[in-house]
């Protein structure tokens, strides 16, 4: 979580804070909040750290980016409190997974109502909630997107999408983009193409990575190459309404199709609408539209990772 603590009359910077949070410390005080968290009475920080090191999977410790990470105790809307009672503003929605905030009273009440009524059942029987939710969800989806498959996580969703694409097309080889993050399950470790998220184990069978269409750090592109209110400062030779960088990146995708796919066929192409873990990378104008069209012409399936999150239909 990207947490910022604003301290009245004190410019102290917490370890690991970003440039943004350094700027925010110039604000004199925190906005008011009338919510009162419970007093923390649980395990001590020192004991929790010892347990983390000795009794939890080592992978969890590897994900701790700070020498002394904050131990969060309670949340309410955009606010978090640590075990010492300090209040923080969560700028990143718990790694973009809780867009309605922490313990939102409406969501909490709905969850409580369901827990009081029914915890779990199996799909060999029926219960009304999943059908009601499916109706509401597809009502917000465009075009022919009218069938949903509910899963527990993004990695599981991408695993399922890849399996279904391979079964549907009969083609094992698929394409993702460099700098992409699609999860850390055994399948998705191969689809993910960020070195820090690729452990040294066999993965990626039948998965090929195309050049990442990044108009800021990639070989082509610049300020006129994407539709965004936050434009890159990189200069660009493209004229208004055109994007030569997109042409170059599409050529690279076609190059992968030409040389790496079996008999010029492809099982699937997966891409994030905007790359998240890779640094909020937005692609050049029309790249995804053109890429999807090419993949479909080759008989492949197009997988839009985090499409629902980017379009807001999860709300």
pLDDT score for 5: 52
For residue range 253-286, list pLDDT tens digits in order: 999 999 999 998 999 999 999 998 888 899 998 9
User: Quick check: 11 pLDDT over 50?
Assistant: no
Flag whether the pTM goes above 0.95.
Answer: no
For residue range 32-89, list pLDDT tens digits in order: 999 999 999 999 999 999 999 899 988 776 667 788 899 999 999 999 999 999 999 9
How far apart, in whole angstroms, are the C-alpha atoms of residue 60 and residue 53? Answer: 9
User: Quick check: 90 pLDDT over 80?
Assistant: yes
User: Quick check: 21 pLDDT over 70?
Assistant: no
DSSP string, 156-222: HHHHHHHHHHHHHH----EEEETT----SSTTHHHH---GGG--SSS--TTEEEEPP--TTTSSS--
Q: To the nearest whole number, what is the mean pLDDT of the chain?
A: 85
**For residue 213, what are the contacts with CB-CB under 8 A and spacing of at least 6?**
177, 221, 245, 246, 249, 283, 284, 287
């Amino acid at each position: 979580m990207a947490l910022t603590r604003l301290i009245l009359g004190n410019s102290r910077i917490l370890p690991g804070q970003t440039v943004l949070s350094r700027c925010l410390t110039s604000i004199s005080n925190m906005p008011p909040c009338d919510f009162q968290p419970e007093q923390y009475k649980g395990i001590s920080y020192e004991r929790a750290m010892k347990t983390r090191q000795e009794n939890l999977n080592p992978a969890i410790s590897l994900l701790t980016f700070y020498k002394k990470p904050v131990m969060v105790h309670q949340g309410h809307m955009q606010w978090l409190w640590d075990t010492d009672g300090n209040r923080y503003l969560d700028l990143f929605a718990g790694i973009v997974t809780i867009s309605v905030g922490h313990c939102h009273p409406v969501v909490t009440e709905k969850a409580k109502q369901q827990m009081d009524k029914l915890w779990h059942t199996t799909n060999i029987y029926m219960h009304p909630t999943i059908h009601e939710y499916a109706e509401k969800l597809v009502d917000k989806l465009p075009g022919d997107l009218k069938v949903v498959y509910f899963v527990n996580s993004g990695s599981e969703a991408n695993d399922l999408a890849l399996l279904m694409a391979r079964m549907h097309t009969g083609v094992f080889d698929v394409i993702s983009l460099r700098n992409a993050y699609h999860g850390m399950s055994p399948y998705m470790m191969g689809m993910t193409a960020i070195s820090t998220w690729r452990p040294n184990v066999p993965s990626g069978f039948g998965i090929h990575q195309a050049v990442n269409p990044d108009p800021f750090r990639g070989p082509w592109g610049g300020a006129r190459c994407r539709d965004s209110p936050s434009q890159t400062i990189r200069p660009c030779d493209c004229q208004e309404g055109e994007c030569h960088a997109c042409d170059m990146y599409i050529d690279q995708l076609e190059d992968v199709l030409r040389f790496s796919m079996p008999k010029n066929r492809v099982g699937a192409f997966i891409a994030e609408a905007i790359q998240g873990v890779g640094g909020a990378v937005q692609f050049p104008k029309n790249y995804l539209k053109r890429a999807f069209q090419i993949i479909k012409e080759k008989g492949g399936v197009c997988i839009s990772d985090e499409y629902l999150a980017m379009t807001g239909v999860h709300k």
